[in-house]
Amino acid sequence: MKYRTIGTDPAHRREVSVLALGAMLFGSRTDEATSFAVLDRYVEAGGTFIDTSDNYAFWEDGGQGGQSEELLGRWRRSRGVGDEIVIATKLGARPLAPGTGYIDNPEGLSAKTIREAAERSRERLGVDKLDLLYAHIEDHRVPLEETVEGFADLVAEGTVGLLGVSNHAIWRVERARALATAAGLPRYEVLQYQHSLLRPRYDVPSDLFPDGSLGHAGAELAGYLRAEPDLTLVAYSPLLAGAYVRDDKPVPADYDHPGTPARLAVLRDVAREAGATVNQVVLAWQLGGELPILPLAGASSVAQLEENLAAVDLELTAGQRARLDAVH
């Protein structure tokens, strides 16, 4: 395994494995025995960075989520896991009531919600301190100042370490960070956005993003990372939920455009040259790039995890990287 430091404050920064493990479906679609087996193998291989959210996976049973955090809490207790494993979670997108969703009825990011949601996450996970806490989705109902101060209060109290943000417009991230800087408060230091080798369209609307996706890591975010070297990107859905390799999983609608077939063709050529799987090349491409990117990949079996782990040691040549980057 390889490792990278996230965060800049010596009091809160952490060294984490470069491959993060997504626990979204643990305790719901992925049963407890399988989830425990994947977690055990990940740690055995040197993995130290696990990702979840307080709303995972509410859509599986029409509830409010919490299954993933609860399973991770049971696993931690049964294995005696301590501070050596960094668990990141998110708040703000948990449905307020069963049978609703994070689009029409989210908890949001008020100071009161941040405090209460973080406490519930700590209880489910069985931890005194959340290593990394993200603002999951935007909340335009609450002033940014209130959200910034709400997160900062928890850091000051010692119940939260690093702060992160996901699925926000970059101008909102920068404004929040500027407000925190002006007030001498901790800033978002970890960004979590969808990022993969295939390039998405950004103008495809959805229920959550009616003007086009705010969840993709595009040119604006890349430029922001170059300008702000203290930031780290955690790239979720790097393997597009199996779409690279499964015939029954077509690429998502926002990736279905004329540029995709050519990019896939080069990807498959490089995989054959490297003696690796397509998924491994995608992860290696992220890991070996110039920007500080940590891929966040889920696994529903130990076999899937093993494939992902092997990507950590896959070194693409400069020529292979150039070919992958050149296709439009």
Number of neighbours of residue 250 by Cβ within 10 angstroms:
11
What rounded mean pLDDT belongs to the chain? 95
- What does the block give as tokens for 136? 């999951």
Counted domains in the chain = 1
- What does the block give as tokens for 115? 């405090």
Question: What is residue 95's predicted lDDT score, i.e. its pLDDT?
Answer: 94
Considering only CA atoms, which of 49, 40, 121 is closest in space to residue 78? 40
From residue 118, alpha-carbon distances to 160, 251, 270 in Å are 8, 35, 43
CATH of the domain at 146: 3.20.20.100
Give tens-digit pLDDT for 291-328. Answer: 989 999 999 999 999 999 999 999 999 999 999 999 86
Q: Which residue has the higher pLDDT, 53 or 11?
A: 53
Q: Which domain holds residue 50?
A: 3-326
3-state class of 50 per DSSP?
Answer: strand
* pLDDT band, residue 247 (cuts 50/70/90): confident
Considering only CA atoms, which of 303, 276, 312 is closest in space to residue 324? 276
Question: What is residue 80's predicted lDDT score, i.e. its pLDDT?
Answer: 97
d(CA 66, CA 75): 14
- What does the block give as tokens for 42? 């990940």
Minimum mean pLDDT among 14-23, 215-224, 269-278: which range? 215-224
Sequence-separated (6 or more) residues with CB below 8 Å from residue 68: 23, 24, 25, 26, 27, 28, 52, 53, 56, 57
The answer to whether residue 159 scores a pLDDT higher than 70 is yes
User: Parallel, antiparallel, or unpaired: how do β-strands 86-91 and 232-236 relate?
Assistant: unpaired
266 neighbors 316 (Cβ within 8 angstroms): no
* pLDDT band, residue 208 (cuts 50/70/90): low
Question: What is residue 22's predicted lDDT score, i.e. its pLDDT?
Answer: 98
Amino acid at 231: L
**Model's pTM, two decimal places?**
0.96
